[in-house]
Chain A
Amino acid sequence: MNVNYLSSLLAVVVLGLVAYVGAGIAGLQGVFGIFIPYLAVVIFIAGFVNRVMGWAKSPVPFRIPTTCGQQQSLDWIKQNKIENPSNLFGVIARMFLEIVLFRSLFKNTRTEIVGDRLSYKWVVWLWLFAIMFHYSFLAVVVRHLRFFLDPVPFLVKFLEQIDGILQVGLPGVYISGITLLVGAILLLLRRILIPKVNYISRAADYFPLLLIIGIALTGLTMRYFTKVDVVKIKELTMGLATFHSGVPEGGLGGLFFVHLFLVCILVVYIPFSKLMHMGGVFLSPTRNLANNSRMKRHINPWNPKVKFHTYDEYEDDFREKMIEAGLPVEKE
C-alpha cells in the first residue's frame, strides 16, 4: 500500500462520482456535456501553447545531444549516423525512430547484482507495454472521430474494419480497446510491483495511468455491457463539433458522462503534467540536435557584444615600438 497510488485512485473515483452524480442524478447534462468539454478544449490549447512557447524561450546555446555511437571523425573511422548524427538527415532519422518506435525505451536495461558481480541486462517489457499502450490509444482516438465527423471519412471506417477484424460478438470487439486497457494496467503494475520503479513513482505518475484506465473501463463497459444509444451520443458530440450544441432529447446515461468527464480531465491535465511529453519529445535538445560542435562554431546568441582587441590589431598599434625593443613580430 502506498499513499501515492491510493490518492490517485481516490482522485479518479471522486472525479467519476462527480460526473455520475452531477450529470446522471442532478441532471446537469448541459454543464457536463457542453460547457466542460468546450472549457477543456480551451484550457488544453492555451496550456499547450503556453508550455511549448515556454520551452521555445528557453536558451539552448550549445549542442547537447546524448550520443551512444561513434561521432563523425576521420574518413576511415565509421560514424554511427543515427546514434551520433552530424547533420539534419541523421537528426531526422533519429527523431523519427524515437517518436514512432520509442527507440530509447528499447534500450532499457536492468541493473542487478548477480552473485558478486554488477550486471546489466537488456529488458524489453517497458518498450513493449509502452508501444502497445500508445498505438492502441492512437487507434482509439482515431476511431472516436466517428462521433465528431459527418460523414465519417474512409480512413476512420478502414481503421474500424482492421480493428474489428476478429468479428467477435456484437457490437464487435475492437482489438485496440482491449490492448489499451491491458497496456495501461501493465504499465501501472510495473510501477507498483517493481520496488525500484515504485520508489521513484509519485502521485503524478499514477494519476494519468489510473485516469486512462478509468476512461478505458467506462468506454468498454458502455460498448460491451451496459450499452448506450450511440445515435444520441453522436447527436451531442456532433453538436459540439459544429457549434450547434444541445443535449439530445431525454438525456444520456450517467456512465457516458463519467467517460466524457474523465476525458475532459485528461485533456485539461495534459499541458500541466508529464503527459506533455507528446509535445516535448519533439523539443528535447538531447535528441533533436546534431553533434557537430567540432565542425561548426556555435555562438551563444545572447552573449553581450564584447569589443575585441585582437593580437593583430595590438601588433599594428605597437609594431614600431616592439621592433625597437627587439620583440618578435608577426609582420615586419
Chain B
Amino acid sequence: MNDKPKIIIGLIIFFAVFTFPFWYNHGAVSSAPEPKLSDKAEKAKHCVRDTDYMRKEHMHLLDGWRDRTVRDAERVYEIDGKEYMASLSNTCMECHSNKAEFCDKCHEYASVDPYCWDCHKYPKEKK
C-alpha cells in the first residue's frame, strides 16, 4: 500500500491552514493606530492617570468606577489629591469626545468589543 500522495495532500492542507496569517495579510504593511487626541485633551496634558497606565489598564479603572458608582453610589474618584467625577460619559468623554477617533481605532485594531455603549451615550461625531 502506498498512501504517499494522500499524505502529501494532507500535509499541504495542514500547512495552508497553519500559514493562514501570512497569506491572509499578504505581506501588506499594517501599522498600529494612533488614537487621536482632541484639542481639549491635548491642552489638559494629562489624564486621570499617566499614559502608560491608561493604555494598559483603562478598562480596569472604568470597571472599578462602574461598580463603585452603581453599587455603592460613590461617584468621586480621588487620585493624587485631585477629585474626578467617576463617569465615562461626563468625565472621560468630555476631553475624549470623539469615540470613533479615540476609542474605536484601537478597539477595532485589537478586536475588542466593549459593551460600554450598550448603556452609555457618547457625543455625536462631527462628520
Contacts and interface: CB of A to CB of B under 8 A. Distances in A.
Nearest to A240: B21
Given A149-B21, A242-B25, A298-B1, A156 B55 contact: no
Given A45-B15, A60-B1, A150 B30 contact: yes
Contact of A61 (B1, B52, B106): B1
B44 interface: no
A279 B59 contact: no
Nearest to B110: A230
Interface stretch (A165-173, A180-188, A194-202, A203-211): A165-173
Contacts of A167: 115
Nearest to A278: B14
B60 interface: yes
Contacts of B113: 157, 160-161
Given A242-B27, A244-B29, 8 more contacts: A52-B7, A55-B7, A146-B110, A148-B21, A171-B60, A231-B55, A232-B32, A242-B29
B2 A234 contact: no
Interface of A: 45, 48-49, 52-53, 55-57, 60-61, 145-146, 148-153, 156-157, 160-161, 167, 169-171, 227-232, 234-235, 238, 241-244, 248, 279, 282-283, 298, 301
Contacts of A149: 21, 24-25
A230 B32 contact: no
Interface of B: 1-4, 7-8, 10-11, 14-15, 18, 20-22, 24-25, 27-33, 52, 55-57, 59-60, 62-63, 106, 108-115
A145 B21 contact: yes
B23 to A, nearest CB: 10
Contacts of A229: 52, 55-56
Contact of A230 (B10, B52, B108, B112): B112
A161 B27 CA distance: 28
Contacts of A231: 32-33, 55, 106, 109-110
A232 B110 CA distance: 10
Nearest to A161: B113
Contacts of A61: 1
B111 A160 contact: yes
Contacts of A243: 22, 27
A170 B21 contact: no
Contacts of A170: 59-60, 62-63, 114
A1 to B, nearest CB: 39
Contacts of B52: 229
20 contacts: A49-B11, A55-B7, A56-B7, A60-B1, A61-B1, A149-B25, A153-B24, A167-B115, A169-B63, A170-B60, A171-B59, A227-B56, A228-B56, A230-B112, A231-B32, A235-B31, A241-B22, A242-B25, A243-B22, A283-B7
A230 B109 CA distance: 10
B57 A227 contact: yes
Contacts of A298: 1
B79 to A, nearest CB: 17
B63 A242 contact: no
Nearest to B29: A244
Contact of B1 (A55, A234, A301): A301
A241 B10 CA distance: 23
Contact of A156 (B8, B57, B111): B111
B2 A301 contact: yes
B30 to A, nearest CB: 4
B112 A238 contact: no
Contacts of B15: 45
Contact of A234 (B4, B24, B109, B114): B109
B32 A234 contact: yes
Nearest to A249: B32
Contacts of A301: 1-2
B27 to A, nearest CB: 5
A227 B60 contact: yes
Given A148-B21, A228-B56, A243-B27, A56 B111 contact: no
A298 B2 CA distance: 12
